[in-house]
Structure 1
Amino acid sequence: MHKVILSIDHGPSNTAWTAGIYIQPIKRLNTVSNVQTIGYVDTDYRERANETVRKDIATYAGWNNSGIAISGIFLGHTAPNDVHDVRGYLKNVSATVRHSEGFLDPTIVVHNPGRVPDTNMTSYHADVTVVFEGEFRDMPDRKKLKAGLSDLKGRREDFAAVVHPYRAQSAEIGLEESSTA
């Protein structure tokens, strides 16, 4: 299943309703059987207040009232280890996603520490954990990544990578730049 992350101004934007230009594209994405649309909410490694993150989650859930809905939330910049009760913070905001009315079923929660987190950080509250984020050239080889994941509980589909290729490498890995005229 492919995840399409929606981020308007690094989150749902400052308004309760999404801008009209996004409604039709989101509706179209929601008709594709192997795509889940999810909203981006930055946690800033727990620096953003719990209330602020929960407000962003509620804004996305409220989009359902405008005729569009998404499948869950991509929590960006989650801390990879449990300092200052990060685990409790993530448990709380993840539960907010799961218990908010307005998301499509199945509701999904993605945590993005951008690297392999400590083992106690991949518990029941995330459906997917991003274990690498960066440029393609910096991606660890398969054996190194597999070794880093060996202590984590979960199946292969519970983990993801967000890769930002740059133009010179795009052709090298089989990606083509698309343009619209």
Structure 2
Amino acid sequence: MSMNMYVALPLYMYPSVGVWQPLYDALNNNPQVTFNIIINPHNGPSGSPPDSNYISNISLINSYTNVNTLGYVHTSYGKRSLSEISSDIDTYESWSTYTNSNISLNGIFVDETPASLEFLGYMATIHDKVKSTMTIGNLVWTNPGVAVDASFYKVADMINAYENTYDHWMNHGGNSSIPQARRSKSTVMLHSYPSTTHTMASDVDELVDAGYRGGLLIVNDQYSSFDAMWPTFTKEVGQSNANVKC
């Protein structure tokens, strides 16, 4: 039986007044759906603590029980030094010591991760750093954006194994690229979703039935805004999860 699929959300837009409201609406309207939300102040953590808008909005997100928050770190496909990445992870962990608001995170999202096995040790080092540093939650979610060798799943809790356009997914047999045995620890992010389509329900059903741990169908290709399909997508995730249980 498939497990519940969560909503995978790169929350890359700055939290000006009202900008994150569609997220709060979705959290309120779909309390049975888990949202894994990537926080990215400035291509990484920026400062510690982050600015006041981030503080107020992260603390609001953390007031919901159906949320995991993860701090954004990038590796530039293995070109970035482990010391720089380690410093970013330390900064995110320091947020948990901020006393005026709860801005603690549940893990780290590692973007632009290499897919070649020569980087397995590099990724293992990052995994171990997160596990030994983060105290509130230490999820490790990596994003090569493509299917990778099974070895990488030993140094990650979740891997985003597909990040591309919806059309690319549909035209290149998206499901076939990710082995069934790895889908329970795999997520997929499909952007450039056609805003005029009427197949959202069946598209979400397909992802849930395939057994992915998390998924995203979104119109915006830069994750820089919420779109008109966002409420429909989040609602369909809840309905598809419920149907799988039946």
Q: What's the TM-score bracket when you normalise by the shorter of the two chains? A: 0.7 to 0.9
User: Structure 1: which amino acid aligns with 2:190?
Assistant: V
Q: Distance in 2 between matches of 1:74 and 1:98?
A: 13
Q: Distance in 2 between matches of 1:81 and 1:118?
A: 8
- The question of whether the paired residues in 2 share the 8 Å contact of 1:81 and 1:121 is answered with no
> What is residue 136 of structure 1 aligned with on the other side?
166
2:195 to 147, 170, 180: 170
> Structure 2 vs 1, CA of residues 42 and 3 (structure 1 numbering), >3 Å: closer, same or farther?
same
Q: Check if 1:127 corresponds to 2:157.
A: yes
> Structure 2 vs 1, CA of residues 108 and 50 (structure 1 numbering), >3 Å: closer, same or farther?
same
% identical aligned pairs: 25
Q: Check if 1:159 corresponds to 2:191.
A: no
Question: How much has 1:7 moved relative to structure 2?
Answer: 0.6
- The question of whether the paired residues in 2 share the 8 Å contact of 1:46 and 1:79 is answered with yes
**Unaligned 5+ runs, structure 2:** 1-33, 201-226, 231-246
Q: CA RMSD in A?
A: 2.2
Task: Give aligned pairs, total.
Answer: 167
Q: Distance in 2 between matches of 1:128 and 1:141?
A: 25
Q: Which has the higher contact order (CA 8 A, sep 6+)?
A: 2
Describe the SS at the equivalent of 2:71: strand
1:91 to 93, 100, 124: 124
Question: How much has 1:27 moved relative to structure 2?
Answer: 1.1
Question: How much has 1:171 moved relative to structure 2?
Answer: 3.9
**Unaligned 5+ runs, structure 1:** none
Question: How much has 1:112 moved relative to structure 2?
Answer: 0.3
> Structure 2 vs 1, CA of residues 98 and 141 (structure 1 numbering), >3 Å: closer, same or farther?
farther
Higher-helix-fraction structure: 2
2:49 to 10, 13, 17: 17
> What is residue 222 of structure 2 aligned with on the other side?
none
1:113-171, CA deviations, whole angstroms, 9 ceiling, x for partnerless residues?
Answer: 00101232222x211100111222222469x3333222x754x33110122226xx134
- The question of whether the paired residues in 1 share the 8 Å contact of 2:49 and 2:55 is answered with no
> What is residue 113 of structure 1 aligned with on the other side?
144
Question: How much has 1:87 moved relative to structure 2?
Answer: 0.7
TM-score w.r.t. structure 1 length? 0.82
Describe the SS at the equivalent of 2:151: helix
Question: How much has 1:57 moved relative to structure 2?
Answer: 0.5
1:73 to 78, 87, 108: 108
> Structure 2 vs 1, CA of residues 135 and 146 (structure 1 numbering), >3 Å: closer, same or farther?
closer
Describe the SS at the equivalent of 2:37: strand
1:3 to 36, 52, 56: 36
